[in-house]
Amino acid sequence: MKIDVHKVGGVTIVAPWGRLMGGPDTNELDERLYALLGREEKRIVLDLAHTRWINSSGISVLIHHWKKCREAGADLRLANLTAKTHHVLVISKLVTVFEEFDTVDKAVASFVGGAGAQGNRKVA
């Protein structure tokens, strides 16, 4: 799995390419997110535009890191979900947990502008 990491306006963007279905791919994302928390990154956007599918193992990693971010005083937000990935979050009712945005720019703006997700959240 390829994972791009870069910053936009003080917000760390993590963009995995492929499928989050357990094994090495999910482990790599897990390690990257732990590394960001270790560097005390406080604002993280997971850009899922190139994530073709996610299963329970992938969801588990997302939930785990959402909780770890909260414990560390950080925030993890999602952007650019594909229709399939969004559907999995709807079915699992995780759309009520994660702050989800149509674009990375909107997710970044929600941090920078101090606005909550309510105005920018993608509606299921």
Q: State the Cα–Cα distance between residues 69 and 76, nearest whole angstrom.
A: 6
> Can you read off the two tokens belonging to residue 121?
């959240």
Is 78 exposed, middle or buried, given 0-12, 13-18 or 19+ CB atoms closer than 10 A?
buried
In a domain, 3, yes or no: no
Q: Percentage of the chain surpassing pLDDT 90?
A: 71
The answer on pLDDT for 124 being more than 90 is no
In a domain, 86, yes or no: yes
- Going by pLDDT thresholds of 50, 70 and 90, the confidence category of residue 22 is confident
> Can you read off the two tokens belonging to residue 123?
């509606």
Q: State the Cα–Cα distance between residues 119 and 122, nearest whole angstrom.
A: 9
Angle of the 56-71 helix axis to the 23-38 helix axis, nearest 10: 10
User: How high does pLDDT run on average in the chain?
Assistant: 89
For residue 54, what is the domain's CATH number?
3.30.750.24
In a domain, 76, yes or no: yes
Determine the distance from the C-alpha atom of residue 3 to the mean position of all C-alpha atoms in its chain, rounded to a whole number. 12
- Going by pLDDT thresholds of 50, 70 and 90, the confidence category of residue 24 is confident
In a domain, 66, yes or no: yes
DSSP string covering 39-51, please? Answer: TT--EEEEE-TTE
Mean pLDDT of 110-121: 58
Range of the domain at 102: 12-119
Which pLDDT score is estimated for 114? 56
Mean pLDDT of 118-124: 43
Is the CB of residue 53 less than 8 Å from the CB of residue 19? yes
Instruction: Domain count for the chain, please give it.
Output: 1
In a domain, 6, yes or no: no
Is the CB of residue 122 less than 8 Å from the CB of residue 101? yes
| Span 41-92, pLDDT tens digits | 999 999 999 998 899 899 999 999 999 999 999 999 999 999 999 999 999 9
The answer on pLDDT for 12 being more than 70 is yes
Q: Percentage of the chain surpassing pLDDT 70?
A: 91
In a domain, 27, yes or no: yes
